[in-house]
Amino acid sequence: MAKPDKVAAVAEIADRFRTSSATVVTEYTGLSVSQLSQLRLALGTSAKYRVAKNTLVKRAAQDAGIEGLDDLFVGPTAITFVEGEPVDAAKAMRDFAKDNNALKIKGGYMDGRPLSVDEIKQLADLDSREVLLSKAAGAFKAKLSQAAALFQAPASQVARLAVALEEKRQAESAGTTADAPAES
């Protein structure tokens, strides 16, 4: 019979799997408690880093309908449950792993499929959502400015043509009066 605390832990982990936008599975062997605290601070409020027993995590993943991660749950395992932007969490994990070689990223899960270590690194290399939105807004603004200039061009060409035509008529009428003989 399962112990109530283990049943509660499986239920909590399964719920986190269901509500997370992404998960990253890591090995934390060799990290001190203070280093783990630093990692949790680096992740911020948008991700939760949880150390759990592999058997409990496997059962929770199965309960949540997560498939393809069983081979990652070997050895000391911790999971980052990303509640916010996966890019931000992946960057925080990558940067922390650069400074602390003891943290090993094993893989992850996002959008209904497992992620390899390389895919998590590619995710970390992406710009954040805010940066991508500002780039898109800048591109839209540039295209709108180009469209406004394009729509304005025919009107300004007509105006320049009208001015040139008027100047030509004035020059012709001034030339006509200059050519006429003076009456005595």
Cβ contact 63:13 at 8 Å: no
From first to last of its 184 residues, the chain has per-residue pLDDT tens of 468 888 888 899 999 989 888 999 998 888 888 888 898 998 888 889 988 888 889 999 888 888 888 888 888 889 999 988 888 888 888 888 888 888 888 989 998 888 888 888 888 887 777 777 888 888 888 888 887 777 777 777 777 888 888 888 888 888 766 555 555 4
Single out the residue of 42, 19, 159, 177 nearest to residue 103, CA to CA: 42
Domain coordinates of the chain in residue numbers? 4-126, 128-179
Model-wide pTM > 0.75? no
CATH fold for domain 4-126: Alpha-Beta Plaits (3.30.70)
For CA atoms 4, 10, 13, 19, give the dihedral sign: negative
The two tokens of residue 13 are 């982990």
